[in-house]
Amino acid sequence: MVFGFGRTATMVTPQEALPGRPEPLPDIPDTNVVLGTSMHPPFPEGSATLYVAMGCFWGAERIFWRLPGVITTAVGYMGGYTPNPTYEETCTGRTGHTETAMVVYDPQQISAGEVLKAFWENHDPTTANRQGNDVGTQYRSAIYWTTPEQEAAVAQTTKDFQKVLYDNGFGAISTEEKPASEVGPFYYAEGYHQQYLHKNPGGYCNHGFKGMTCPVGIVRQDQLPAQQDILPG
């Protein structure tokens, strides 16, 4: 990741946002190289799409492409004002976007709640505009849903995981929770960001199981899963 950019907790206004460009970025690939599926709609009949943000999108995307029932994933920018932003523009904090992972899944194989379980358990949703050393509004936690089932799952898992957090001494969830239709388009990130940690297995990642499960509570340290499949060596 690029450090030192956009270290602000203040959301840019539409008037202050960078102008962007009318056309998509030129090097966006068609296919998810891990799953061998299209990264672009139309997606298979019956599939559902959920957008989540949890800090750097490199590690976030890897969490979801590993889930059984996920059809495809991609990373991009969402929730802001600048059309078709670049990574460098987003890192300034002046686009309003958050680094977002698109998750397309088969609801017959995995539920929205199970997708959200992975979301909650693999980042800290209580640190507004920050994940670890990554600071800025582009790193804020967010969920943008596209179906009523997802909306209901967001409400239920937020409630359940908030109790777990409080019980373990953490603060209030700061995750931005909105329908995707309200926050605007998902803009695909540049090609080199797509499935980045598959292409660069030792690349930067600050995601991993935090020791609290959604919604059943906290597990002992000796029950934690091995981290080598989540964090680079």
Angle between helices 148-167 and 112-121 (to 10 degrees): 30
Q: How far apart are CA 117 and CA 214, in angstroms?
A: 6
Contact call for residues 21 and 83 (beta carbons, < 8 A): yes
Task: Tell me the two tokens of residue 220.
Answer: 């002992």
Residues designated as active site:
56
If one counts every other C-beta atom within 10 angstroms of the C-beta of residue 8, the result is 15
